Structure 1
Amino acid sequence: MRSDKKIILFLLAALNFTHILDFMIMMPLGNYLMPYFSIDPREFTYLVGAYTISAAISGFGAAFFVDRFDRKKLLIIAYSGFLLGTLACGLAPSFILLLAARLLAGLFGGLIAAQVLSIISDLFVYEERGKAMGAVMSAFAVASTLGVPFALYLSNLISWHAPFILVAVLGLILIPLLMRYIPVMDAHVRNREEGGKALEALSQVLRSRQQMLALLFSALIMMGHFLIIPFINPFMEYNLGFSRSQTPMIYLVGGIASFFAANILGRVADRFGKLPVFTICVLLSLFFVFSLTHLSPIPFVFVLLMFAAWFILSTGRGVTAQAMISNVVKPEQRGSFMSFNSSLQQVGTTIASVAAGQIVIQGKEGQILRYGWLGYGSILILLIALLLARYLFGKTERKQ
């Protein structure tokens, strides 16, 4: 891989780190925000869902114009707006203002993921895309390994406001580097037919059964994953009795495992096929989904080992899924399609988060009840996604 591409991957991974950290930190803050604002689990999921539904709307709207512009410019604009919303979260004094700030962050954040994936897909051929996707998506692991535990530490040391302010500061440092090192990305504009209509992007998706199913597949993957995530921290503290100083270790250990998984499984998928690696990761993950949502008090070391395995398999699912999805469109349509993809992912995350808040209830002593129901739902959704992937991408894999 050329050095210039390595620099671009590093910068996109750093951008992804701040973007993902902003989203991830909201979920383990549940046991901070619920008592701080005197809100219940349902209201807490509104904070999680506010970002995702706003991002879904902006991602859908962006799909009608993104392929008409330089991907670099759109990325910088979206990232700047996202950082403004994140800073507003860090300064929010009330539940309503925090909710509004999450909506603002999501409005711009919904544009980021599609541009990152489109840039990677434009720069790397399909045979190398698993490695490239793995490198950038390893930012999720770094956010889990370093970002979330440190953010929770800041929350304990200062307040829950501190992590959001940290993300905004890191992002401001990153913007000049993005502007300098990421090249102009407008080849898709030059190759695009003149006079295209605004609704052409949507009509192209609606005319393609493969693209519509790929978007459904993407939403299902996010639903299956995020159905159980919002209440991991409250469940660990209120049900199993682990302290707030212990639970950040879950993200530390899981993040380390994910970092290596993203890079290793991406390379393995390039060599042996994305679909086989995806299939194995999904099937093995079902055991851990069931186990983690039905845990009884056990030594914390076993909890860490189980979460490490689950993080590895979840990362393998995500890397291979996005690599397969990126291959269903031509480069000149990729920005629009990836915007639809990002939008549907946010919709899936929103549905999962809101559904989780409606299903679980708090007991008299604060314990999270019906968490196991979320595990059953996650397993069912992931199995449906697996069947859809086998049907949708089987022929694509055989052609490689």
Structure 2
Amino acid sequence: MFSKQEKFLLAILASIQFSSIVDFMIMMPLGPQLMRMFAINPHQFGLLVSSYTFFAGLSGFAASFFLDKFDRKACLLFFFVGFSVGTVACGLAPNYEMLLLARGLTGVFGGVLGSLVLSIVSDAISYERRGSAMGVIMTSFSMASILGVPFSLFLANQFNWHAPFIFLGCTSLLLCVVIWFKVPSMSKHLEGGVNKEPMWNTISRIANNKNQRRGLYFMSSVMFGHFAIIPFLSPSLVANAGLSESQLPLMYMIGGAFTIFSSPFIGRMADRYGKHKVFLWGALVTLIPYWVITNLGPSPLWVVLAICAFFFVVSGGRMIPATALVSGTAKPQNRGSFMSIVSCVQQLSSAVSSYIGGLIVTTGANGRLEHYPVVGYIAIAFTFVAIFLSRRIEAVEGGGPASVEPVAEPVI
């Protein structure tokens, strides 16, 4: 299905995603340790998570004005080097305040990486094969869960919480060297004159495109519901379900192992049966673990691991058709800027959701996390909103019903 060159490119992009995902994911299992060591409450821990996503959202918005004006490789290197340095800075942070600042710095660069990766995949892989390509990229989440997070926790337990950030930052810098020498220039999108449009035309073009606005609303709903739950997943499993901190890596390893097989399979299903249909069923099934996890009490280890593995498969799986759907609403000449706006919306929605979740969830006198079911109901509600919006998104490539860019319409 993919040529040798395409396979190499997808492997590099998946490696970048792997680094970015590990950097973000490691905060969750380190939550109980950081809350104990810094003597912080759930709200303050929520700020550690939302600071990354908030600044990632702002940088994604700013990047939308210039990403389509430069070679994709140059942009990729700039932001990945910045991300790597920011990750090292997290590892060197001596206290809560400096860690909070370093997480924001990492978010400035890391927030653009996701949109860059998606833009490169969308430029290099045709729409008809893009679901499969997105499935390959999504295996980076699997590997992050199986190898990245457990190894990071091993480093944290063997040394301290600083070690995983320093190790990840240094290995990411080595990957930058590989990209510099091995990845070819990617400037096909610069052909023509669309990339020379004035900066604010980027925003007005998206604002006047009803199809792309729907894509933004859709992705915002998906991320808002998801990140009401995610920051407190590990703390809740320790405080409410009875897992020990040393057992948390098992959740990521087993969940990631299942997604290695499920992500490529779901990608192929999205290409075969349609992105809309696969997202619909994935979103509906995700409602089950949303409710179960947020209402979970003391449970046997095998029950917790089974629930979390199911959650990893369905929540990650629905993002494959969702991302392919949204990427198909933009043409190659404008895709970098549009995907940066998508990333901005994703990150800001995640930041707001994490912040609100931190206000709702509290620690009881017995150490349990209270009011966690409330954020579960919020996640369920926003999933239904996303399902409704997904049915109204059309592709402008691949022979879809909107194969011609929609004419500008008044903003509603």
With the length of structure 2 as denominator, give the TM-score of the two structures: 0.94
3-state SS, counterpart of residue 329 of structure 1: coil
Q: CA–CA distance in 1 between the matches of 2:253 and 2:194? A: 48
The count of aligned residue pairs is 400
Contact (CA 8 Å) 1:130, 1:267: kept in 2 or not? yes
The 8 Å contact of residues 134 and 262 in structure 1, kept in 2 or not, is answered as yes
User: How far apart, in 2, do the equivalents of 1:354 and 1:195 lie?
Assistant: 38
Q: Name the SS for the 1:365 alignment partner.
A: coil
Q: Percent identity?
A: 41
- Per mean C-alpha deviation after superposition, the further-off stretch among 367-376 and 176-185 is 176-185
Change in CA separation of 1:364 and 1:106 when aligned onto 2, cut-off 3 Å:
same
Distance of aligned partners of 1:157 and 1:219 in 2 relative to their CA distance in 1, 3 Å threshold: same
Is residue 195–residue 334 contact of structure 2 (8 Å, CA) maintained in 1?
no
1:65 is matched with which residue? 66
CA shift, 1:247, in A, is 1.7
- Is contact 1:64-1:336 (8 Å) kept? yes
CA distance in structure 1 between the partners assigned to 2:227 and 2:290 by the alignment: 11
Query: Are 1:262 and 2:263 an aligned pair?
Result: yes
Correspondences of 1:150-161 after superposition (within 5 Å): 150-161=151-162
Q: How far apart, CA to CA, are the structure 2 residues paired with 1:195 and 1:353?
A: 37
Q: What amino acid is aligned across from residue 222 of structure 1 in structure 2? A: M
Q: How far apart, in 2, do the equivalents of 1:132 and 1:270 lie?
A: 10
Structure-2 separation of matches of 1:395 and 1:296: 47
What do the CA deviations read for 1:85-107 (whole angstroms, capped 9, x no partner)? 10000010011111111111011
1:245 corresponds in structure 2 to 246
Deviates more, 1:69-78 or 1:165-174: 165-174
**Who is 2:408 aligned against?**
none
Does the 8 Å CA contact 1:261/1:315 hold for their aligned counterparts? no
- State the superposition RMSD in angstroms: 1.6
What amino acid is the match of 1:378? Answer: A
Partner of 2:94: 93
**Cα drift, residue 195 of structure 1:** 4.6
1:154 is displaced (CA, Å) by: 1.7
Q: Aligned partners of 1:338 and 1:134: how far apart in 2? A: 18
Return the alpha-carbon distance in structure 2 between the equivalents of residues 262 and 24 of structure 1. 18
Q: C-alpha distance in 2, partners of 1:398/1:177?
A: 36
Check the 8 A contact 1:275/1:393 in 2, yes or no. Answer: no
CA distance in structure 2 between the partners assigned to 1:279 and 1:268 by the alignment? 12
Q: Conserved in 2, the CA contact under 8 Å of 1:275 and 1:394?
A: no
The verdict on how the C-alpha distance between 1:147 and 1:108 changes in structure 2, with shifts beyond 3 A counting, is same
Post-superposition CA distance 1:139-184 (Å, at most 9, x none): 0111111111221222122111111112112202211211223221
Partner Cα distance (1:318, 1:242) in 2 = 28
Q: Which amino acid aligns with 2:343?
A: S
Inter-CA distance 95–194: structure 2 relative to 1 (3 Å threshold): closer
What is the distance in 2 between the residues matched to 1:258 and 1:193? 39
5+ long unaligned stretches in structure 2: 402-412
Moved more, 74-83 or 178-187: 178-187
| Letter aligned with residue 367 of structure 2 | G
Runs of 5+ in structure 1 lacking a partner? Answer: none
SS at match of 1:159: coil
Q: Is the 8 A contact 1:250 1:307 kept in 2?
A: yes
Q: Deviations over 1:162-220 (max 9, x none)?
A: 11112112202211211223221111112233751111111110110111110111111
- C-alpha distance in structure 2 between counterparts of 1:122 and 1:215, whole Å: 20
**8 and 194 in structure 1: CA distance in 2 versus 1, 3 angstrom threshold:** closer
For the residue of structure 2 that corresponds to 1:392, the secondary structure is coil
Specify whether residues 168 and 395 from structure 1 end up closer, same or farther in structure 2 by C-alpha distance, changes over 3 A only.
Answer: closer
Q: Which residue is 1:117 aligned to?
A: 118
